[in-house]
Amino acid sequence: MTQGQNSRAEQGLAARRLTCLRGERVVFADLDFSATPGSALILLGPNGSGKSSLLRLLAGLSRPFSGVLTWNGQDIAQDPDAHRARLRYAGHQDAVKPTLTALENLSVWAGLDGLPDPEERAEQALVALAMDHVADMPGRYLSAGQKKRVNLARLALAPAAVAPLWLLDEPATALDRDSIDRLAVLIAAHRRAGGLVVLSTHSDLNVPEAVSLNLADFGATADQEEREHEAVGAQG
């Protein structure tokens, strides 16, 4: 089947028999899920169960040990540039440049994303996170929560048609209650516009009708660990 012939059921993001190794340890094995445009998937599980690792795989920042990740039915590994262009990943690392103001940081990102009117978009994105009052403050003077909000404002730069896939690793960490509520509004608007959100959170973030995926259910059995170790040994 060619990409153009994919059925509607394949729209969005899907994982088939995904197995993730970090170091030589199986973090999760044989993970299956699918998420359609407009939906939200919340990754649950105790510390170390692989939520960040899965988000990194979905972002194309690392490769699965085995299994396939697809977007609209096509393996994301076949066209990494197209996948990078369609996603926005907010991880633990802070991307705010200390010497640029909050507004300049966002304008630069909008420019790098190839969006028209980068400064106007940056201003609107700051308003969405109630950060317009610190628009002219250099990144190095922003508090931890303010930096987090500038990072999250990046999500608001591009329309869902351009960057439909949001991958958010603990997006509510360091945010105050009002900012968590604004983030929830941003996520809801993105979904209404046809976007798709995968996120991990230990916080009380309101994401209506989200599907939960508990990575603890996909922890490797002793048999799987042994098979993966044999396979790693054979590869090395």
Ligand X SMILES: Nc1ncnc2c1ncn2[C@@H]1O[C@H](COP(=O)(O)OP(=O)(O)OP(=O)(O)O)[C@@H](O)[C@H]1O
Q: List interacting residues with ligand X (CB under 6 A).
A: 22-23, 27, 45, 47-53
| Nearer Cβ to ligand X (48/73) | 48
- Nearest CB to ligand X, comparing residues 177 and 202: 202
Q: What distance in Å separates the CA atoms of residue 23 and residue 9, rounded to the nearest whole number?
A: 35
Q: 49 by DSSP, 3-state: which? A: coil
What minimum distance in Å lies between the beta carbon of 103 and ligand X? 31
CB of 123 to ligand X, least distance (A): 33
Count the Cβ atoms, other than its own, within 10 Å of residue 10: 17
Tokens of 27: 């973090």
Q: What is the DSSP string of 57-108?
A: HHTTSS--SEEEEEETTEEGGG-HHHHHHHEEEE-SS----TTSBHHHHHHH
Which of residues 107 and 200 has its CB atom nearest to ligand X in the complex? Answer: 200
Closest CA to 145 of 134, 159, 161, 156: 134
Query: Shortest Cβ distance from residue 202 to ligand X (Å)?
Result: 7
Q: Which is nearer to ligand X, 6 or 52 (CB)?
A: 52
Least distance in angstroms from the C-beta of 215 to ligand X: 6
Looking at the Cβ atoms of 192 and 202, the one nearer to ligand X is 202
C-beta of residue 190 within 8 angstroms of C-beta of residue 197: yes
Question: Do strands 40-44 and 211-214 pair parallel, antiparallel, or not at all (unpaired)?
Answer: parallel
- From the centroid of its chain, how far is CA 189? 16
Q: Least distance in Å: CB of 27 to ligand X?
A: 5
How many whole angstroms separate alpha carbon 10 and alpha carbon 68?
13
Query: Cβ of residue 23: shortest distance to ligand X, in angstroms?
Result: 4
- Print the SS3 string covering 170-203: CCCCCCCHHHHHHHHHHHHHHHHCCCEEEEECCC
Where is 89: in which H helix or E strand? Answer: strand 87-90
Closer of 21 and 110 to ligand X (Cβ): 21
| Least gap, CB of 22 to ligand X (angstroms) | 3
* Complex with ligand X: residue 40 or 57, whichever CB lies closer: 57
